[in-house]
Amino acid sequence: MPTPVLFVSHGSPDIALQAQTPTLACWQQLGVSLARPKAILVVSAHWETATPTLSTAAHPQTIYDFGGFPAPLYRMTYPAKGAPEIAPLVQAAFDKAALPLHIDPHRGLDHGAWIPLLSIFPKADIPVAQLSIQTQADPAWHMKLGQALHSLRTVGILIIASGAVTHNFGWLSHSDEPLPAALSFSNWLAEKLQARAEKELLAYRTQAPYGATAHPTEDHILPLFVAFGASTTDDRLRRFAPEVTYGALAMDTYLWEARN
């Protein structure tokens, strides 16, 4: 049976310092329920390149690509081995789809990868590789990347896309009440993903309520289109909406699973 496809809203890095939150509980439960994959391929909003690039580091370093957080966060590590063995599979898939691919033998794991992995697979005993996004390209390009990656699901590789359902720093607050605009956009997105409404999703900036405002830049929603592309109509979609942090960061997670 094909492995699932997972999209996580990774939120603020300091979530890793919290003892327990609804989001952490959600990630932990996913880790318990998911079958153990042979390897993990993470598509993170925090690795941007001009051309799709795959990391093949044998021992990827934990990257602290953020600033201004408490010191203990910079002492956390995710010591998983790399997954250079999947490079030929990704290369073949991209060749078949007429997509370019570069290789980076040194790239480590940015916080879009290791923050959620700390909770999903805390033992760090599954090999992990990363694939970059292209912020100069549109959602349709990233959906095409996902469609090419679908073949990896048939050989036991778990695809995890990591970004955000809402990502407007101007919306952030310390309110306990979620911003209505954030809820409106995230609920629209859930409805269209469930319906596999491709045209509306690709045009979310004009079709969705607060579409362009929810994402002033597209970097954090592009991984979602990779996940959507890697899924098919044969999958069952499950939405997890554990909380909205800082009043505006909808921490939604999506899981596409092959139907029994």
CA distance 222 to 134: 8
- Domains plus CATH for the chain? 5-258 (3.40.830.10)
The pLDDT score that the predictor gives to residue 176 is: 86
pLDDT greater at residue 174 or residue 55: 55
CA proximity to 146, closest of 14, 235, 23: 235
pLDDT greater at residue 62 or residue 1: 62
The pLDDT score that the predictor gives to residue 7 is: 98
Is the pLDDT at 260 greater than 80? The verdict is: no
Task: Tell me the whole-structure pTM to 2 decimals.
Answer: 0.97
Structure confidence by residue, pLDDT tens digits, 171-194: 999 888 999 999 999 999 999 999
Q: How confident is the model at residue 259 (pLDDT cuts 50, 70, 90)?
A: confident
Give 36: exposed, middle or buried? Use CB within 10 Å, 0-12, 13-18, 19+. exposed
Q: How confident is the model at residue 99 (pLDDT cuts 50, 70, 90)?
A: very high
